[in-house]
């Protein structure tokens, strides 16, 4: 099955500084992994910039304008918190990362493709409505979901997040709206300290915390036992995936023991739900993953499953 791959070289220009884990080499590793004969059938396109209207479906206008106004000189940077840093190229990179999700939604909803993967950075799932944090500026997955509703009339969108860190920003953006389901597996305790199973929103939030050291079997059990049944019952018309690969056993920022076959298994399960309820429509956006080798091989496993499932 043809899969759309959206990326943009501007996403390499977001530079949080030496030794920062969310570095441009992450995207280079992903793109190199997908630059081979096995992935020659990918439909490749450039990620556009998100518009102000698209961003403001999720974030207050004054917040969006304040973030985009931060344009440090080349070589300079502005820290927004201890982890979230803007360089000269960060504003355009953030616009492209959000715009990739929007363009992917347009492509799958128009029937041009059924699945898409957005190889962009910075990530987005920690960005709250009016607060950047955790390397994130805009809530890319929620912006994509809101665009599907506003521009294509979809009534129910599911956001599925398997990043090792809980997507506090995604949850905060949708927890009061039953038209969007948010389901997450994540290590706990771990940054940002949210994601307790008792956090349910208006019945649309499903969190599966995993203890440090949990392996692929525990990861699969969390999804098969609670999260996937919740998504199935919701019957989404589109699946938006926050694809973070830092639950991998090699990742330096957490202590889960997930491997490439586990990511491929979950991807195939999500595609199955999409086939049953959403006309096959899946939009996946890159989130975390900080061991370059594990990020590359895990992304390849994920995209391979999008193509084959």
Residue 169 region by backbone torsions, left for phi larger than 0, else alpha for psi between -120 and 50, else beta? alpha
User: Is 88 a catalytic site residue?
Assistant: no
Q: Which long-range contacts (CB under 8 A, 24 or more apart) does 206-209 make?
A: 206/181, 206/182, 206/230, 207/166, 207/171, 207/183, 208/183, 208/184, 209/166
Q: Are 128 and 172 in contact (CB under 8 A)?
A: yes
Which residue's entry shows tokens 């699969």? 220
Sign of the CA dihedral with 305 first, then 137, 180, and 103 last: negative
**β-strands 85-87, 77-79 pairing:** antiparallel
Rg (CA), the chain: 17
Which residue's entry shows tokens 């985009």? 68
Q: Are 248 and 307 in contact (CB under 8 A)?
A: no
Residue 123 region by backbone torsions, left for phi larger than 0, else alpha for psi between -120 and 50, else beta? beta
Taking the C-alpha atoms of residue 139 and residue 130, their distance in angstroms, rounded to an integer, is 10
Choosing from 14, 88, 125, 126, the catalytic residue is 126
What are the two backbone dihedrals, phi and then psi, of residue 223, each rounded to the nearest 5 degrees? -75, -45
Active-site amino acid positions: 126
């Amino acid at each position: 099955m043809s899969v759309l791959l959206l990326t943009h070289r501007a996403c390499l220009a977001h530079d949080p500084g030496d030794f920062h884990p969310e570095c441009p080499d992450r995207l280079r590793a992903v793109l190199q992994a997908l630059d081979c004969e096995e992935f020659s059938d990918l439909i490749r396109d450039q990620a556009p910039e998100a518009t102000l209207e698209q961003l403001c479906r999720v974030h207050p206008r004054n917040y969006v304008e304040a973030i985009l106004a931060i344009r440090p000189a080349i070589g300079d940077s502005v820290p927004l918190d201890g982890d979230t840093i803007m360089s000269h190229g960060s504003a355009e990179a953030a616009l492209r990362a959000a715009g990739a999700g929007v363009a992917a939604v347009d492509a799958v909803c128009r029937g041009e493709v059924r699945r898409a993967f957005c190889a962009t950075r910075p990530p987005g799932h920690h960005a709250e409505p009016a607060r950047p944090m955790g390397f994130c500026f805009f809530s890319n997955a929620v912006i994509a979901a809101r665009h599907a509703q506003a521009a294509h009339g979809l009534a129910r969108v599911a956001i599925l997040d398997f990043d090792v860190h809980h997507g506090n920003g995604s949850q905060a953006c949708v927890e009061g709206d039953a038209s969007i389901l948010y389901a997450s597996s994540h290590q706990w305790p771990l940054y940002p300290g949210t994601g307790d199973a008792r956090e349910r929103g208006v019945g649309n939030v499903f969190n599966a915390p995993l203890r440090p050291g949990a392996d692929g079997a525990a990861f699969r059990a969390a999804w098969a036992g609670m999260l996937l049944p919740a998504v199935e019952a919701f019957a989404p018309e589109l699946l938006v995936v926050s694809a973070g690969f830092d639950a991998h056993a090699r990742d330096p920022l957490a202590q889960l023991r997930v491997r490439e076959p586990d990511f491929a298994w979950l991807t195939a399960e999500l595609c199955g739900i999409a086939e049953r309820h959403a006309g096959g429509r899946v939009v996946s956006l890159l989130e975390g993953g900080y061991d370059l080798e594990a990020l590359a091989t895990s992304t390849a496993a994920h995209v391979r499953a999008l193509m084959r499932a």
